[in-house]
Amino acid sequence: MSGSQQLLDDAACGLARTASDGTFLHANRTFCEWVGYSSDELCGRRKLQELLTMGGRIFHQTHWHPLLQMQGSIAEVKLEVVHSDGHTLPMVMNAIRRDDGGVTVHDIAVFIARDRDTYERELLASRRKLEALVAEATRLQLELKDRALFAEQMVGIVSHDLRNPLSTVQMGAVLLSRGEATPNQLRVLGRISRAAERANRLITDLLDFTQARMGKGISVAPQPMDLRATISEVVEELALAYPGRKLLHRHEGNCHCTADADRVSQLVGNLVSNAMAYGQPESEVTVTSSVDESSSCVVAVHNMGTPIPAQVQSVLFQPMVRGPGEVQAGSSVGLGLFIVAEIAKAHGGAVAVESTAETGTLFRATFPGA
Amino acid sequence: MSVRQRNNVHVSGEGPATMFLAHGFGCDQNMWRLLEPTYSRRYRTVLFDLVGSGNSDLSAYRADKYGTLHGYAEDVVEIAREFGGERNIFVGHSVSAMIGVLADLKAPGLFAAHAMVGPSPCYINDGDYVGGFTRKDIDGLLETLESNYLGWSSTMAPVIMGAPQKPELGVELTNSFCRTDPEIAKQFARATFLSDHRADLAKLQTPALILQCSDDIIAPLSVGDYMQRTLPRGTLKVIKNVGHCPHLSEPGASTDAINEFLAEQGL
């Protein structure tokens, strides 16, 4: 056998020549071995398309044949070939149509493509998986949108439908206490007023929380303000709310800065309420405010008492986190510090905490200068 | 969007009748390259691509419209009304033969004759009816289409290993011919191979030629016999050919058969 004959017969790919109707004319040894038929069983007896799966045969008719006819060649078609023993082999095929002494023949080279086939199937499977995931993500997104809409509606319900009856209760209590009430009735009316006040504060917190969580952030309207005056006023009011507790205010540096005065008051209120709840009742709570030359300001609230554990400190400013130990009924739903942090953030600032047994607990909100 | 753009319509020739040539599943209007020149000398010829195939406007493809052959038939009616004349001949290959039947039923009188090349009203076996395939075979085809995604769907042109012996297809066409968006190809395959329009055959009052190949797995002889029995004015003509595209592999015998039929119809 000549070298070139052997090269063709034992080539590293299957080689075959068919008539234009697909009937085999020649097939090399590699091809015969791969498909499980002898050369005699193929040549003159079988057609290429007869070795394909039914799906492949249709494809052969609708794509392979017209392409080969019109284009003269076709490359990289992957089809399943049915071995003589019945199992199928994925094969990649190239074909050229040529003229052999006035007769049209098709010369075909085939490669087994098991790995490529497996890989492509994996690609297709992951593509399908991705498509399913995208569909799921889209569905979830729509669901979230629905929920956000619902939350927004809830905000409306809470702010109007709940606040209105509450102010009626408050006003009623005030009016009644101006009349001829007995001392006993006055005590009850006072309790009603304070409870309504607390409910109002809770509503404010909830509204702020919803606003912040809906991605809009807490709304602030910074304006030139007198920090010392604002904070002394808040501290005076707060002192009345905590009879029997010592609440001090110290101010350093300038007085003028740019911030939302109502929000700063809210921030101080929340920090003081925390300090009163978790600090030692016998030691004082100190509010410090300062404005420096660049008009950036700091508001800090300090108390002595059991330090906040380190692992709690790291999540302290997330919503629904409470300090250790007791919680006064109704005073907190765990939104206070979250709102403090959101207020600082809305001003472009930040809030930090230091807490040790020796130095006590200090919350510091810093606002950058305008 | 105009019908001309949507279906990539090409009109040539002039004559007493207009001949519409509709390609089948898999390729596009270039399938008619060997036949069309013969007919454009005698008729006005109208070549077009079904939406989703060839150079049709892919943005016009809507899965709901083209999920059944009726969507394609609506387009054919529009094309025939816009580009047709008094006497129209519809030549449909494979699935397009049935699209032609549906178009005729939607607009009776629009066509004077149908020449059906390798037609089949139903590809799947059903009781005594032998369509040639089982549902599993068609699923196998969908899988084959899918596993040729990578080669067929990318924007890269397939390797053309030279153009030996002057292929009939110009080089400029090699890149788009037979290349269909894989999703559309699969939907078209479903619309084609899962369709069953046997009941529509009996309603077709227009004369029809059933041009059947002697050895065609997609439209076996049993289907040709069935169609002749069922079509009120059907003429079966079997030509010797292996495969489903006699207009490519036996253009001479194909035109002879079509000419004989058209002559009988006085066209």
CA atoms within 13 A on the CB side of A167: 6
B225 among known catalytic residues: no
Q: If you average pLDDT over every residue of chain B, what do you get? A: 88
Q: Do A66 and B142 touch (CB under 8 A)?
A: no
Domain ranges of chain B: 3-122+197-264
Q: Do B167 and A49 touch (CB under 8 A)?
A: no
Query: pLDDT by residue (tens digit) across B177-230?
Result: 667 777 888 899 999 999 999 999 999 999 999 999 999 989 999 999 999 999
CATH code at position A14: 3.30.450.20
pTM passes above 0.90: no
CB of A65 within 8 Å of any CB in chain B? yes
Q: Write b or e for each residue in A103-127: b if 16 or more Cβ atoms lie within 10 A of its Cβ, otherwise e.
A: eebbbbbbbbbeeebeebeeeeeee
Alpha helix positions (H), A84-182: 114-156, 163-178
Q: Do A70 and B30 touch (CB under 8 A)?
A: yes
Domain range enclosing A37:
3-112
- Among the listed ranges A155-169, A352-366, B55-69, B154-168, which one has the minimum average pLDDT value? B154-168
- Given a contact cutoff of 8 angstroms between Cβ atoms, the answer to whether A78 and A113 are in contact is yes
Residues A287 and A302 in one domain: yes
The active-site residue, picked from B40, B53, B56, B94, is B94
Please state whether A72 falls in left (phi above 0), alpha (psi between -120 and 50) or beta.
Answer: left
Question: Among B65, B60, B27, B21, which residue's Cα sits nearest to residue B44?
Answer: B21
ipTM: 0.83
CA atoms within 13 A on the CB side of A79: 29
Q: How far apart are CA A253 and CA A369, in angstroms?
A: 13
* Domain presence at residue A41: yes
Joined tokens for residue A82:
């049915």
Q: How far apart are CA B12 and CA B16, in angstroms?
A: 13
Number of domains in chain A: 3
* Domain presence at residue A36: yes
Using DSSP, state whether B259 is helix, strand or coil: helix
Query: Which of the listed residues A184, A213, A242 is the one where a domain comes to its end?
Result: A213
Residues of A in contact with B244 (CB under 8 A): 61-62, 65
Q: How far apart are CA B74 and CA B104, in angstroms?
A: 10
For residue B102, the distance in angstroms to the closest alpha carbon of chain A comes to: 22
Question: What's the burial of A240, exposed, middle or buried (CB within 10 Å: 0-12/13-18/19+)?
Answer: exposed
For residue A130, the distance in angstroms to the closest alpha carbon of chain B comes to: 16
* Domain presence at residue A330: yes
Estimate to the nearest angstrom the gap between the alpha carbon of B192 and the chain centroid: 11
Q: Write b or e for each residue in B178-207: b if 16 or more Cβ atoms lie within 10 A of its Cβ, otherwise e.
A: bbbebebbbbbbebbbebebbebbeebebb
Q: B3-122+197-264 belongs to which homologous superfamily?
A: Alpha/Beta hydrolase fold, catalytic domain (3.40.50.1820)
pLDDT at B258: 96
Q: How far apart are CA A339 and CA A336, in angstroms?
A: 5
* Domain presence at residue A218: no
Residues A227 and A360 in one domain: yes
Residues A208 and A228 in one domain: no
Using DSSP, state whether A113 is helix, strand or coil: coil
pLDDT at A323: 59
| Cα distance between the two ends of chain A | 94
B249 among known catalytic residues: no
B94 among known catalytic residues: yes
The edge-to-edge listing of strands for the beta sheet with A73-82 is A24-27, A14-19, A103-112, A88-100, A73-82
pLDDT at B134 over 80: yes
Residues A108 and A85 in one domain: yes
pLDDT at A329: 42
pLDDT tens per residue across all 370 residues of chain A = 677 888 889 999 999 999 989 999 999 999 999 999 999 999 999 999 999 998 888 888 888 888 888 878 888 888 899 999 999 999 999 999 998 889 999 999 999 999 888 888 888 889 889 999 999 999 999 999 888 788 777 777 777 778 888 889 989 988 998 888 899 998 899 889 888 888 888 888 877 887 777 667 788 888 898 999 999 999 998 888 888 899 999 998 888 888 998 899 999 999 998 899 889 988 999 999 998 877 788 999 999 988 988 888 888 888 766 655 544 444 455 788 888 999 999 899 999 999 999 999 999 999 887 5
